[in-house]
Amino acid sequence: MSLPDFSTQSAFFSLAATPDELFGPKDRFRIFREKIFPRLVEARPTLIKAYCAENGRPAIEPVILLGISILQYMEGVSDREAVELIGYHAGWAFALNLTLGQETFHPTVLVNFRQRLIEHQQSALAFSILLDGLVAEGLVDPRGKQRLDSTQMMGLLSRMSRLECVRETLRLALQELEST
């Protein structure tokens, strides 16, 4: 997949223009945008090693997908719900430097992105960026006793909920009926 152009500059009508009115200094989305998102942008050179620059259809920006994966884990939502949230949730749009109502993508993009991270031995990248950011900001003690493991994050995100299993089963059954 070829990579799109990436810019950290906010759009004119983005939520970045009025952060104080919408998100207080201790709001989790503001902390994410100010402390974590810049570290995700710094990790872009590592992420793009998993993509082919000149071949295939345009990819969704890997920095955004990595940010979505972290927010998805924080909120405990499925892939389908995460894609819906980036379309209409002001906090998610603000944290990821997106505009409300921005065009979204199919939830399987997140599945393929996680698989790409695993195939290129980058599955712990989001976790290490998040942990390094929290330690650097003094939000987590670097010598504290905590259970820290990135496999739990990737495992929880890849599991479908019961409702999603039912939806997918019905979708496949309807496709089968339609072809016969």
**Tens-digit pLDDT profile for residues 75-131:** 888 889 999 998 888 889 888 988 877 888 888 888 888 888 888 887 777 777 777
> Mean pLDDT over residues 154-174, rounded?
65
Give me the domain span that covers residue 156: 15-179
In a domain, 112, yes or no: yes
Minimum mean pLDDT among 66-70, 98-102, 145-149, 170-174: which range? Answer: 145-149
In a domain, 6, yes or no: no
Structural domain total, the chain: 1
In a domain, 90, yes or no: yes
CB 91 within 8 A of CB 23: yes
Output the CA–CA distances (angstroms, integers) from residue 75 to 54, 70, 92, 121, 142, in the order listed.
35, 9, 10, 25, 24
In a domain, 28, yes or no: yes
This prediction's pTM? 0.69
**Of the candidates 106, 123, 105, the residue with the CA atom closest to the CA atom of residue 114:** 123
DSSP 137-173: TTSS-TTS-----HHHHHHHHHPPPHHHHHHHHHHHH
- Encoding tokens for residue 125? 């990248």
Which one has a higher pLDDT value, 139 or 109? 109
In a domain, 1, yes or no: no
In a domain, 120, yes or no: yes
pLDDT one-digit tens code per residue, 34-73:
888 988 888 888 888 877 767 766 778 888 998 998 899 8
The Cα–Cα gap between 180 and 23 comes to 53
In a domain, 8, yes or no: no
In a domain, 146, yes or no: yes
Distance of CA 54 to the CA centre of its chain: 24
Give yes or no for residue 141 having a pLDDT over 80: no
